[in-house]
């Protein structure tokens, strides 16, 4: 994949799947800005790491659910590069609880972080992409947004919402040569799954036809494909990356 001279923005790019996406896009030649919230030290380490490989990667502290902070991030991207070609809405959180025990605050927090954030960044991406008459928006959803999951009503609602949002926006901007797609990962090896004990991991793997938990790179490779010209006739779709879990 060759993304030389393309400019990409990745939300929640400092760890796990987000980091793998940043790495994949930068390795393909894109100039990348990623957002983070908590660790400035980690963000600066990443910038330095990519600089040693002559790759252009910048960090920007922004809370994904804040429209004002998203706008500040966009201004940063446009001041540096004067364009935006690829947006990856990856930022998200979980806060699991059975519905009877779930507070309104927890429900709203997950919806805002996972769904409103996609609205924020996608809305802001419209102006430069429509002016360019080209662009790629890739939204990270989840398999649970398709089949549901007990104890995650807030998270599932947010990820199902991402899929519906993706289809609607894809229809709005297709005439401007902007594609909008979603990726629905299954179980991926991140900090979250690494906390599971061996018995829990075995139970998960038993449900996956490919008999392994996915790697962040599996999702990043799907992003790379959808961001490239190889996917220029694909829009409004949800690409499931789950080792066959939903079959």
Contact 159, 145 (CB under 8 A): yes
Return the residue matching tokens 């080792």: 243
**125 membership: H or E segment, kind and range:** helix 117-132
Q: Which residues of the chain have pLDDT under 50?
A: none
Distance of CA 61 to the CA centre of its chain: 16
CA angle 201, 205, 208 (to 5 degrees): 150
Helix axes 40-51, 16-27, angle to 10 degrees: 20
Task: Please spell the DSSP secondary structure of 143-188, one letter per residue.
Answer: THHHH--TTBHHHHHHHHHHHHHHHHHHHHHGGGTEEEEEEEE-SB
Taking the C-alpha atoms of residue 71 and residue 137, their distance in angstroms, rounded to an integer, is: 17
Taking the C-alpha atoms of residue 110 and residue 158, their distance in angstroms, rounded to an integer, is: 7
Q: What is the pLDDT of residue 190?
A: 84
Q: What is the pLDDT of residue 194?
A: 75
Give the residue numbers marked as catalytic. Answer: 155
Distances (CA, A) of 172 to 21, 108, 130, 136, 212: 26, 27, 11, 13, 38
Residue (of 86, 59, 77, 83) closest to 1 by Cα position: 86
Q: What is the pLDDT of residue 38?
A: 87
pLDDT digits (tens, 9 = 90+) for 50-88: 999 999 999 999 998 999 999 999 999 999 999 999 999
Q: What is the pLDDT of residue 192?
A: 67
pLDDT digits (tens, 9 = 90+) for 116-144: 999 999 999 999 999 999 999 999 999 99
Strand-pair category, 135-140 with 238-241:
unpaired
β-bridge partners, 179: 136
Q: What is the pLDDT of residue 198?
A: 86
Return the residue matching tokens 């979603």: 182
């Amino acid at each position: 994949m060759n993304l030389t001279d393309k400019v990409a923005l990745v939300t929640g790019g400092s760890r796990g799947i987000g980091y793998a996406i940043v790495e994949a896009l930068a390795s393909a030649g894109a100039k990348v800005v990623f957002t983070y919230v908590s660790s400035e030290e980690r963000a600066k380490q990443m910038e330095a790491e990519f600089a040693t490989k002559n790759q252009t990667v910048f960090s920007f502290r922004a809370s994904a659910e804040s429209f004002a902070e998203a706008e500040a991030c966009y201004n940063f991207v446009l001041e540096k590069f004067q364009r935006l070609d690829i947006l990856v809405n990856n930022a998200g959180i979980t806060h699991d609880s059975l519905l009877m025990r779930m507070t309104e605050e927890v429900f709203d927090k997950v919806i805002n972080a996972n769904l409103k954030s996609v609205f924020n960044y996608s809305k802001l991406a419209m102006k430069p992409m429509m002016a360019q008459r080209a662009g790629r928006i890739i939204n990270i959803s989840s398999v649970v947004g398709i089949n549901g999951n007990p104890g995650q009503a807030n998270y599932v609602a947010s990820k199902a919402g991402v899929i519906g949002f993706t289809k609607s926006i894809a229809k709005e901007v297709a005439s401007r040569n902007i594609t909008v797609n979603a990726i629905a990962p299954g179980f991926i090896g991140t900090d979250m799954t690494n906390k599971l004990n061996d018995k829990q991991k075995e139970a998960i793997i038993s449900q996956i036809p490919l008999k392994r938990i996915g790697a962040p790179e599996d999702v990043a490779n799907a992003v790379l494909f959808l961001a490239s010209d190889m996917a220029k006739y694909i829009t409004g779709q949800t690409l499931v990356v789950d080792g066959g879990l939903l079959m």
